[in-house]
Amino acid sequence: MSTLDRYDSLVLEKLRSRGEAWIVGGWVRDSLSGLRPKELDIATTLEPDEVRSIFPRSIMVGERFGTVRVRLDEVSDKDAMWEVTTLRTDGGYGDGRRPDNVEFGKEIEEDLSRRDFTINAMAVDKKGLVIDPHGGMADLESGVVRSVGDPEKRISEDGLRTIRAFRFLEKGELGVRRLDRSLNEAISANLGMLDKVSRERIWSELKCILGGQNCGKIIEMMVENGIMEKILPDISVNLVVSLCQNHLVNLALICSKEEVCGSELVEKLDVLLRLSNDEASSIKFLHGCRGIELDHSDGSIRRFRAALPIFRQREVIDYCIGMGIEHKQFKRSLEITEDLKKGNSPMIDGNMLSEHTGLNPGKRLGRLKAWLHRIQIEKDMDDASELLTMADQLDWLESDPEEWPILSWP
């Protein structure tokens, strides 16, 4: 069992000074699996107002459902929070997403019975003993994801569980679990439940899957089950790629069969998954790299480093590896290329260039400045006067400035 840090222990101690509290959910599952738990979720007999009285800086994120995100006065990091939920039983799920009503309770076993899968339906008490009324430990041992009770009923309560089941197949370095046969059949028979789930929630779960160490195998299982076709209709999922642990790169890779431009692919994915602007930008850029041949010349390497932020450079390398594009020489060149003598900033400003060429401020002057900046980067120049002289050798008097090269990659 993993060890709690002092702040985790302090939150539990404060709750237990007024009532009972248990560690539940992912922390218990991952700890018993030999994985490093990511966050601590707590179930308590205390109701939300009582929890807030102990932690005045708490955020009431789901008071109706008994959920409070507590913050400690002893911790200055405003993002450090612990999710605390009152023991409860759920009423019907009329909308297939959330319970119509809840009743707060006092019995941990009753609370665990409402949870989705057996490996998530365990708790640890104040003595460190595991409470496991549904055989979660045995399922962890045998590597199976099984529903708590009737799988059809569990899925009817929240259609997102059709995807969540696959997320919990991930075991990191330990490989993957398997779906219980009855659960797998229930998922296949109830894919229509996803129609009731928001695109944002679907993307949130899919991101977790695509960021896992064994996501390639899990995505393949999702294709076999039919759920990927439901999530990404009319997109042919590419399974002949090598996935990494970057969810955006992996999304671009599995969509790489799409014979459309990056903008069109992003438009389609945005309808299906509600991508953020940053996510859409990454997918659009990477999709444009599908048939690229990586030029490892000095000039190309310098442009790559100057034009792209570090995170985008990493995405490109991971994408090319995943697509099977030859990349080894490019990576070696990237590693040995020295930093630019004058950095990434242009040596020549608009006033200098206007005085030298006689051009008035405007589009032509701006594009010429960008052209010279590209030359500066490619040749690693450090003499502004020499760079200005190069302007005299460029065909900028009559040619169309829209056709002039600028600092970009590829």
pLDDT at residue 381, rounded to an integer:
96
pTM (whole model) above 0.95: no
> Among all chains, which residue has been given the structure tokens 């590419």?
238
**Domain 1-142 class in CATH:** alpha beta
- What is the average per-residue pLDDT within 352-363? 94
Write out the residue limits of the CATH 3.30.460.10 domain(s) in the chain. Answer: 1-142
Confidence band, pLDDT 50/70/90 cuts, at residue 61: confident
- What is the average per-residue pLDDT within 195-206? 96
pLDDT at residue 65, rounded to an integer:
84
Residue 62 in this model has a pLDDT that exceeds 80? no
Cα–Cα–Cα angle for 9, 14, 17, rounded to 5 degrees? 120
Residue type, 237: V
Task: For residue 244, give the DSSP letter.
Answer: -
Question: For the segment 75-119, what is each residue's pLDDT rounded down to a tens digit?
Answer: 888 889 999 999 998 766 655 566 667 789 899 999 999 999 999
Question: For the segment 230-255, what is each residue's pLDDT rounded down to a tens digit?
Answer: 999 999 999 999 999 999 999 999 99
- Going by C-alpha positions, the residue among 116, 111, 68, 117 that lies closest to residue 90 is 111
Task: Give CA–CA dist 283/287, Å, rounded.
Answer: 6
Q: Pick the residue with more confidence: 245 or 38? A: 245
Question: For the segment 301-313, what is each residue's pLDDT rounded down to a tens digit?
Answer: 999 999 999 999 9
